[in-house]
A = this chain, B = another copy of it.
Amino acid sequence: MLSQFKWMSMPQKQVKLIDIANKLNVSIGLVSIVLSGKSKERRISDELAAKVIETAKALGYRPNQLARGLRTGKSGIIGLLVADISNPFFGKMARYIENEAAKLEYQVMFGSSDENPEKLENLVNMFASRQVDGMIIVPVFQSESFLLSLQEQSIPFVFIDRYCEGVDEDAVVSDNYLGSYQLTSLLIKKGYGKIAAFANDLHLSNIKDRMHGYTTALKDSGLNYPVEDFIFEVDFDQLDTRLEAMLKQALENGCDAFFFANNKLGISSLKYFDKVGLTIPEDIGIVCFDNPEAFQVAKPGITCVEQPIELMCAKAINILSRKIEGKTESKPERISLPGKLIVRESC
């Protein structure tokens, strides 16, 4: 009779410390001590401790982390702020952060800024409001002032993927300069003479470093042309509308090779080249920073640099947890980890 209404069965009240205290006729404090694993140092008798633990399990007790957090001042949550969680690069980052955080018993909350400083600020404020113990932040253009003010507050954070000019805070990034230098040099070695560079936002530290690697490789090879004419900037939100036009222009400028500063640009351009019937690597050479799955499947495979995401995340969490525990006597540092050059057939 009742079973057909099972789906509207009443919520069960959460069991709390006092419930198990009552059941055992002991004080609530005692239960708290035992369940937070301090039986030994408080010298609670083994049998009592065992009984407490047992009935806690029997009753299905689950500590209320809100209450615990309020009392202890630690939420056990880490905030991850990326540009866009649906970008596979950040997706992988989220996964590794999750893994590393779990080892330290942290849960992770995430947010996507869409490279928008207001969104980032909002998210950071929300996270702070939720008392996250720390944050891992991918800073965006024009967020300096806000991030500076964040430093004044008590909540620790570390940058990842890019650092923020003017904000002296720990950061762990891949070696954008080196990777780009290698990629560009390879293009040159293969005989390409006019190499265009495409980037999304020339203000970002990682992109700057990539561009620096590109220009330096050109200079070192004695290649000499007005580099400004060969660097193209395309915002992600203009990708569909403007990318093709710029690609076309680069081609008209006589470019015979392309260095893409991130996976999205690379992938979108691939489609364009296919559409207009350019063959790679004969007509044009291609290299790209970052190694999405598409580059392995593409024909020819795309030569690229794979970022050491896992290592970056481990390092970031490591630094962050030390900061959270307050043992950070050292000055902030910028850690730059080398990626892996993956040579395929696109140049």
Complex Cα gap A293–B70 (Å):
44
Q: Is A84 an interface residue (CB 8 A)?
A: yes
Stretch at the interface among A47-55, A85-93, A205-213: A85-93
Beyond A7-B332, A267-B297, whether A98 also contacts B85 by CB under 8 A is: yes
Contacts of A329 in B (CB 8 A): 8
- CB neighbours (8 Å) of A70 from chain B are 64, 66-67, 70
Within 8 A of B (CB), among A55-73: 62-67, 69-70
A142 beta carbon closer than 8 Å to chain B = no
This chain: how many copies in the complex?
2
Give the interface of A toward B (CB within 8 A): 6-9, 11-14, 62-67, 69-70, 75-77, 84-88, 90-92, 94-95, 98, 107-112, 125-131, 151-154, 168, 267, 270-271, 274, 292-299, 329, 331-332
* Distance A294 CA – B270 CA, assembled complex (angstroms): 11
Inter-chain contact B111/A107, CB cutoff 8 Å: yes
A168 neighbours in B (Cβ, 8 Å): 6-7
For residue A130, which residues in chain B have a CB less than 8 angstroms away from its CB? 65-66, 76-77, 107
A-B contact list, 23 entries, CB within 8 Å: A7-B332, A11-B153, A11-B154, A13-B154, A14-B154, A62-B125, A66-B66, A66-B70, A77-B130, A85-B91, A88-B293, A90-B91, A94-B94, A94-B110, A98-B111, A107-B126, A108-B110, A267-B293, A267-B296, A271-B296, A293-B294, A298-B298, A298-B299
A153 close to B88 (CB less than 8 A): no
Q: How far is the CA of A332 from the CA of B294 in the complex (A)?
A: 39
New A-B contacts (15) at CB < 8 Å, excluding given A85-B98, A270-B297: A7-B332, A13-B154, A62-B125, A77-B130, A85-B95, A86-B94, A90-B91, A98-B110, A98-B112, A109-B109, A267-B296, A271-B297, A294-B296, A294-B297, A297-B298
In the complex, the chain B residue whose C-beta lies closest to that of A97 is: B85
Contact of A62 among B108, B128, B297 (CB under 8 A): B128
Residue ID in chain B nearest A11 by CB atoms: B154
Partner of A77 from the list B6, B85, B109, B292 (CB cut-off 8 Å) is B109
Q: How far is the CB of A5 from chain B (nearest CB, A)?
A: 10
Check B299 against A299 for contact (C-beta < 8 Å). yes
Q: For A331, what are the chain B residues with a Cβ–Cβ distance below 8 Å? A: 7
